[in-house]
Structure 1
Amino acid sequence: MATIRTGNRSALLIVDVQVGVVAAAGDISRQLDHITFAVRRARDAGVPIIWVQHDDEELPRGSAEWQWVPVLAPQVDDIRVYKQHNSSFEQTTLEAELAARGVAHIVLCGAVTGWCIRATAYAALERGYDLTLIGDGHIAKRLDTGEGTVVEADAIVREFNAVLPWLSYPGRRNRVVAAAELVW
C-alpha cells in the first residue's frame, strides 16, 4: 500500500513542454496560455514550480529540440528535474524534491497526454499524492494506432480528462480543473 502524503502543500508540475516534444502537436497556443496562466498564479501564491524535462537519443540534452518552448521559461528559484522515462518519478529526483518541500498535492500540466502526463498522473497517485490535472493545460498529439485508425489529439485529452476523476486510490483525491479554476 502506498504512503499517503500528509500536509497541504502543493506544487505545480510542468512536464515536457519542450520544442521537440510538441513540434507535431499542431496549434497548442491555447494550452500554452493556460500553462503560462497557471505558472503566474503559482508564482503569485508562492507555490513551488517544478519543471520536468525529458532527454533521450531522439531528444538530446542541450539540443534546440530539448529546450522549453519560448513562452515558458523556468526561473532561477524554480526546481528542475530531468527524466528519461515517461513517468516523471522513475529514476529522477522528483520525489526527493517534493519531500523536501512537504508537498502532498501535485497540480499537473504539460505534454504529452498519452504518455508522460498519463504515466506521471498514475505514478503520483500510486505514490500517495493528491492530484489535480489542469484539464485545459495538457497537450496531446494525434495517435496512429497502426490499424488504419487515427485518434485525434482533442479526443485523447477529453478521454483522459473524463477518466482521471474516476480513478480510485485509498486516501487520495484526484480531479480535473480548468486553469482559471485553480485555487492555491
Structure 2
Amino acid sequence: MATVREGNKAVLLVVDVQVDVMSESWEAPRVIQNLVQVVECARAQGAPVIWVQHSDEELLYGSPGWQWVPELVPASGDALIHKHFNSSFEATDLEAHLAACGATHIVLAGAATNWCIRATAYGALDRGYDLTLVSDAHTTGTIVLEDGGRIDAATIVEELNIAMTWLSYPGRTNSTATAEAVDFTCSGATPHAMVAAE
C-alpha cells in the first residue's frame, strides 16, 4: 500500500496547458478561462502552483507550440516541471517539489484528459496523495478510430470526472470540483461531487 500523506496542504498542479496541446482540445477557450480562475484562487488562498510542461519528438522543447498559452503565465517562484512521459511523476522532480511545500492534496487541471491528466491522477493516488480533479478545467481532443468510430472529447472528459469521483483508495480521498467551487483551504476542494462535462 502507498504511504498515505498526513496533513492538509493543497497545491495546484497545472499540466500541459501549452499552445499546440490546447489548439487541438475541446472547448479550449472555456477551459483556459476556468484554469485562469483556479490559478487566481490558488494564489489568493496561498496555495502553491506547480506547472508541468511536456516535450517530445512532436512537441519540441522551446518551440512556439511548446509554450504556455498566453492567458496562463507562471509567476516568479512557481515550480516548473519538464516531463517527457504521460505521468507528471515519471522521470521528473515533481515529488521533490511536493515534499518541499509539504503537499498532501493535489488539485489537478490541464490537458490532455485521457493521457497526461489521467496518468498524473492515478500517479498521485498511487503515491498516497489526496486528489481533486477540477471537473471543468481539463480537456482533450476527440479520438477518431481506424474503423471510423469516434470517441468524443466531451465523453472522455465526463468519464474521467466520474472515475475520479467513484474511485476508492484506502486512507485517501479523491473527488471532483468545479473551478468555481475549489477551495484550497479545505484539503484542496469541496466534498465529493460528481460533475458531468458541460
The answer to whether the Cα contact below 8 Å between 2:24 and 2:140 also exists between their aligned partners in 1 is: no
Cα RMSD of the aligned pairs, angstroms, is 0.9
Partners of 2:147 and 2:105 in 1: how far apart? 39
Matched, 1:74 2:97: no
Report the AA paired with residue 66 of structure 2: W
Partner of 1:163: 163
Deviation at 1:26, TM superposition (A): 4.6
Deviations 1:116-149 (A, max 9, x none): 0000000000000000000000011101132321
Partners of 1:127 and 1:158 in 2: how far apart? 24
Partners of 1:157 and 1:114 in 2: how far apart? 8
Partners of 2:80 and 2:102 in 1: how far apart? 17
5+ residue gaps in structure 2?
A: 185-198
5+ residue gaps in structure 1?
A: none
Partners of 2:157 and 2:96 in 1: how far apart? 29
Normalised to the residue count of structure 2, the TM-score between the two structures is 0.91
Q: Find the residue that maps to 1:180 and give its secondary structure.
A: coil
Deviation at 1:29, TM superposition (A): 1.1
Deviation at 1:164, TM superposition (A): 1.3
Percent identity, please. Answer: 51
Normalised to the residue count of structure 1, the TM-score between the two structures is 0.97
The answer to whether the Cα contact below 8 Å between 2:26 and 2:142 also exists between their aligned partners in 1 is: no
Partners of 1:144 and 1:104 in 2: how far apart? 37
Partners of 2:30 and 2:103 in 1: how far apart? 28
Partner of 2:131: 131
Partners of 1:145 and 1:48 in 2: how far apart? 39
Partner of 2:96: 96
